[in-house]
Amino acid sequence: MSVLELKNVNKTFGKGHKKVEALKSTSFTAEKGEVIAIIGPSGSGKSTFLTIVGGLLSPSEGNVIINGSSLTDLSEKKRSKVRLNEIGFVLQASNLIPFLTVEKQFKLLDKVKKNNMTPEELKVLYEDLGIEDLKNKYPSDLSGGEKQRVAIAKALYSNPSLILADEPTASLDSDRAFEVMALLRNETKNKNTTTIVVTHDTRLIGYCDRVFKMNDGELRLES
């Protein structure tokens, strides 16, 4: 069973002559252990794709299936549960809560969700991502690279089956960007999850198993 399956999904905005097809009819699957890149210029429909996959936006037509369950028919409350239990987000501007220390970012997840990593697993994750010395720091005390590493750890902490990363390296220099991508790839392989990275940075495609190109709302396999 595929972790993610899109069946003839499309998304249009507006009506009549103002109608814009942000995502043309798309079918897509992602398997366990895969790192997939979606590349394309700004406004090509990458973010629309990602937000539909993440259950933040409903498609106009078609079906999104995560681990065999259709996301499209669910209420917002149930989609929210799917996001909490099945999906880890790594966002461009980091998904850290500004008033929580790194350690407490994980405690928050413990408050809202069960079956997160054990303390021992978290310790290993801290070490893998090189953030063990940052536990008592607030996000404002972290560099861009450190923030993204913590964000990746946070996305992985709840043992999601799917990680969605939206321009995760946008605010980083080249060295840091490669470091973050390497981490994402390693953790995806180690934990046998699936990662979809949306980016316009073609230098990162070397870290991905499959690369899709989005152009004017049309998704095509590149390599």
Partner 1 sequence: MFLAWNEIKKNKLRFILIIGVLMLVSYLVFFLSGLATGLKDLNRESVDKWQADGIILTEESDKSLLQSSMNLDQVKEVNADESAVLGQISAIAREGDKKANIALFGIRKNEFLMPNVVEGKAFSKEKEVVASDALKEEGFKLGDTLELSSSEEKLKIVGFTNNARFNAAPVLYANLETFQEIKFGKGQNSNMEEQINAIVVRGNIKNSVSDKDLEVIEIETFIENLPGYTEQNLTLTFMIYFLFIISSVIVAIFLYVLTVQKISMFGLMKAQGISNLYLAKSVIAQTFILAFLGVAVGFILTLLTGQFLPAAVPVSFDIVTMLLYGIVLIVVAILGAVFSVLTIFKIDPLKAIGG
DSSP 54: T
17 binds partner 1 (CB under 8 A): no
CB of 206 to partner 1, least distance (A): 27
**Which of 12, 32, 57, 144 touches partner 1 by CB under 8 A?**
57
**Which of 10, 25, 44, 47 touches partner 1 by CB under 8 A?**
47
Among residues 113, 114, 145, the alpha carbon closest in space to that of 130 is found at 145
CA distance 41 to 88: 24
Burial of 122 (0-12, 13-18, 19+ CB in 10 A): middle
- Binding track, positions 159-178, relative to partner 1; x by CB under 8 A: -------x------------
Q: Do the bridges between strand 162-166 and strand 194-199 make them parallel or antiparallel, or are there none, so unpaired?
A: parallel
**Which of 36, 87, 117, 131 touches partner 1 by CB under 8 A?**
87
CB of 50 to partner 1, least distance (A): 8
143 binds partner 1 (CB under 8 A): no
In this structure, are residues 52 and 219 in contact, taking their beta carbons and an 8 Å threshold?
no
77 binds partner 1 (CB under 8 A): yes
Task: Indicate the residue among 29 and 101 with the shorter CB distance to partner 1.
Answer: 101
Residue 74 CA, chain-centre distance (Å), reads: 20
CA distance 9 to 17: 21
Binding range to partner 1, per CB under 8 A, among 11-19, 32-40, 60-68, 75-83 = 75-83
107 binds partner 1 (CB under 8 A): yes
The alpha helices in 130-194, defined as continuous H runs, are: 144-157, 174-191
Query: What is the SS3 assignment for 107?
Result: helix
Task: Indicate the residue among 15 and 99 with the shorter CB distance to partner 1.
Answer: 99
Question: In the complex, which residues of this chain contact partner 1 (CB under 8 A)?
Answer: 47-48, 51, 54, 56-57, 77, 80-85, 87, 89, 91-93, 95, 97-100, 104, 107-108, 111-113, 138, 166
